[in-house]
Each structure stands twice: as C-alpha cells, then as structure tokens.
Structure 1
Amino acid sequence: MPEDKSEERKGSLGRAISELLAPVAGFGVTFSNMFRPAVTEQYPFVKTPTAPRYHGRHQLNRYPDGLEKCIGCELCAWACPADAIFVEGGDNTPDGQYSPGERYGRVYQINYLRCIFCGLCIEACPTRALTMSNDFELAGPTREGLIFTKEDLLAPLKEGMLAAPHPMVEGTVDDDYYRGDVEGPSAEQVAWVERERPQDPTLEAAREAAR
C-alpha cells in the first residue's frame, strides 16, 4: 500500500509540473515566431500565382469546331451540395444546334453566393463541359452580379472556332465528339453559317481552319 501511495504522489507531481510548464511551451512557439521576417502579400498590386489545380471560377467549354460541350443533363446541379447550380436543358434543332446530340444547356447559372468551390460538379460532368479556372477575383457590388449566367461562364471562342449554332461535322455522331475525333470546323459548317449568318465575326478564321 505505501508503494502505491508513493507512485500516486509521483504521478500527481508529474501532472502538476506538466500543467505548470504548458504555458511556457506555448510562449516558446510565440517567441520563436517573433523573430522571423514578416511575410506581407502586396495584393492586389502584386498577385501571387495560384496552384495549377486551384478551384476558381467555373468555365463551360467548347469543342474545337465551336459547339458547346454542355448537354443540359443537370448532373452538376444534382451533385452540388450547396444547391448553387441551376440548369435548364433545351432541344437542339436543325436550325439551332448548340451542342452535339439532342440536348444542350439552354439556361446555366451558378450562384457564387452559395458555391463552396468543392469541385463535385466537375466530377459529375459526363462530357467535361464544366471545369474550374484559376480566376478567384469574384467580388462584386451587388448580390445579383454574383449569379453568373451561361454567357458569363462560356469559354471564349478560340481562333478557328465557329460560333454556335451550326450543324455537327458532317458524317459524325455525338460519340465522335466525346472521343475527341472532331478537331475543327468543316467546310460544310462554314457554308451553313455563311448562308444563315453571313455577318458572323468568326467566319473568316473558321474558313482558314476548315481548309
């Protein structure tokens, strides 16, 4: 019994010493950082590059011929845990072909007041239509301005792309687009746009790409 009491006293003494030195250990961290040089970000005058896989503003992508990748399936909206995405699909028609296949995203909105930038919408997208850019400057003066529409999210047309709507490349099906077999606009697509929208500003570059 005396030995048990001795061990108990030693344990109590050790705990008391540990509790006494705990603040000293905390101050040790404080003092060690007091003498390190300060790191001040000079934002917005000097902008530090983001990580390559940074989750920033979303972007709706296009195929090389200019058709949109979004097929209006709404899987991104279903996957969003913050209910920040609203999609309304529409039917493609011979005079209004915006994406390969039967459907396209007629309405697309992302509410950046709700978005938590988790990237689950990107994982859910079956056509890689939706990706995330490195753009993080999303502040604005109004709440309405932080609800981005399809026009805000669509990727700009690259050189040689033909603005939609226009038919798919002749002789292809939607699977050819998904596999990456379409590499640019065709002469038939250019001719269709020349007939329907002769003043389209993307025609000249598309003619060169279709040769």
Structure 2
Amino acid sequence: MSYTPIKRPKFSLLDRIYLKALGQGLCITLRHLVLALLGKSRNKKELGGSGIGVTMQFPEHRWDKHLPEYYRGAPALVRGEDGRERCVSCQLCEFICPPRAITIKPGTLPADASNQKPEKGPVEFEIDMLRCIYCGMCQEVCPEQAIFLTKEYLITPETREDGKNDKARLYEMGGTKRGLVNKWNQYK
C-alpha cells in the first residue's frame, strides 16, 4: 500500500501566534460597536432592539414570526375536521424514530354513531421530548398525516416527567387539521 505525503503549508510568524486572526476578530467587534453606538445595528426593527446591539429582547419579542417555513419544532398529533383521531396506530413512527422517543400502545377506539366499523387507534401515545431529535421522520412516514412538527420551540421541562408528552398533551398541541384522511375514505 502506497501513500502520498502531504506537505504542510508554511505559516508566517503572525499566523503562528494568531495575531492576524485576533486582529480580524477585533475589527468585526469594533465595527459592531460603532454601528450600535450610531443606532444602525443590524436587524434593529426585526429583533425589537433599541439599536444598541443585535440581541433580541426575548420575553417581550419572540421568534414566532421570524421562523422559516421549514422549521422543525415539537411533534404533535392532530385530529380531523370532525374531531376524530387521525392516528391508526400503525406504529410506523415508533419504528422509524432514531432515538426511540415514541411509544405507542395500539388498541381499538370505541365505536360511536358517526362510524359503523371499529377503528384502530392508540390507547397510549407518548413522545419523550428529552430524547426527540426533531428529525421529522415521524411526520414523513405517517400514512394518515396524524403527526406533525409544530413551530413550538419553548419546550423546556422542569422535571423528566414533564418532558414526556402523553396523548392528551400531543392532541392539545396539534389541534385540528383539514384535508383527506385515508382511513375515513369510503372508496378505499
């Protein structure tokens, strides 16, 4: 097996003692300082700042209107237009979840007057938000479009038990969603 030796570049004295990099960083900092003192700092209006600095004043101003369309926040379950559960408890989201944050206990939902046949649904559905990596694979794999990643980013639990979202909490976060639901399609 042969190898090709790689020649290392020769650094000057300024590069070796990092003076050049320190000078560049200092120039950037001074430029921000001058702009802040003149009241012309970047994103002053968008961040709700006073013009001194570029930091968002967090409790009063939030990122909600600045989040991009592709932002992946906390996962949540959604209901259909008529309030019925969309989840058919197929467990695909549980199987595809890389950190194994989703736990589903499948079962049969009680029949009511609006549907003649018994429906499958989750008896228990839990997502451990401390393990979730917000990859979005659960949303992609769901055949009934029952799980979505919301724009929610303020999800700091106080205890480990608060970090586990149960079925009721997930439906509360998700709300209702319009559109075709395959399991209610009479022609399927």
Same fold (TM over 0.5): yes
> Residue 13 of structure 2: which of 14, 17, 20 is its match?
20
Q: Which amino acid aligns with 2:78?
A: N
Which of 19, 43, 57 does residue 42 from structure 1 map onto?
57
TM-score, scaled to structure 2 = 0.69
* Distance apart, 1:79 and its partner CA: 0.9
**C-alpha distance in structure 2 between counterparts of 1:79 and 1:133, whole Å:** 19
1:101 CA drift (Å): 6.8
Mark the CA change 1:97 to 1:110 in structure 2 (over 3 Å): closer, same or farther. farther
Rounded to whole Å, the distance in 2 between the matches of 1:27 and 1:55 is 36
**Aligned residues, how many?**
152
> What SS does the corresponding residue of 2:21 show, helix, strand or coil?
helix
CA distance in 2, matches of 1:177, 1:55: 33
Q: 1:32 aligns with which of 16, 27, 30?
A: 27
Check conservation: 1:77, 1:85, Cα contact below 8 A: yes
Between the aligned partners of 1:96 and 1:53, the Cα distance in structure 2 is 39
Q: 1:60-209, aligned counterparts within 5 Å?
A: 60-95=77-112, 102-154=119-171, 155-156=174-175, 174=183, 176=185
Find runs of 4+ consecutive structure 1 residues off by over 6 angstroms.
none
Aligned-partner Cα distance in 2 for 1:176–1:78 = 25
Deviations 1:142-186 (A, max 9, x none): 21111000100113358xx9xxxxxxxxxxx8362799xxxxxxx
Q: Structure 2: which 5+ runs fail to align?
A: 1-6, 37-52
CA distance in 2, matches of 1:82, 1:149: 17
1:52 equivalent in structure 2: 69
| Residue 19 (structure 1) shift | 3.5
What amino acid is aligned across from residue 34 of structure 1 in structure 2?
T
- Cα deviation digits, residues 34-87 of structure 1 (max 9, x gap): 121432121122112222221112121122222111110111111111111101
CA deviations on 1:99-152 (whole Å, 9 max, x unpaired) are: x97311221100011111111111111111100111111112221111000100
Using the TM superposition, give the Cα deviation of residue 33 of structure 1 relative to its aligned residue in structure 2, in angstroms: 1.6
What is the TM-score when the length of structure 1 is the normalising length?
Answer: 0.62
The answer for unaligned runs of 5 or more in structure 1 is 1-10, 162-172, 180-211
Aligned-residue CA RMSD in angstroms?
A: 3.1
Distance 1:142 1:74, change over 3 A: same
Q: Are 1:90 and 1:103, in contact at CA under 8 Å, matched by a contact in 2?
A: yes
Verify the 8 A CA contact 2:139 2:147 in the aligned structure 1.
yes
1:63–1:177 CA contact under 8 A, matched in 2? no
Q: Is the 8 A contact 2:103 2:127 kept in 1?
A: yes
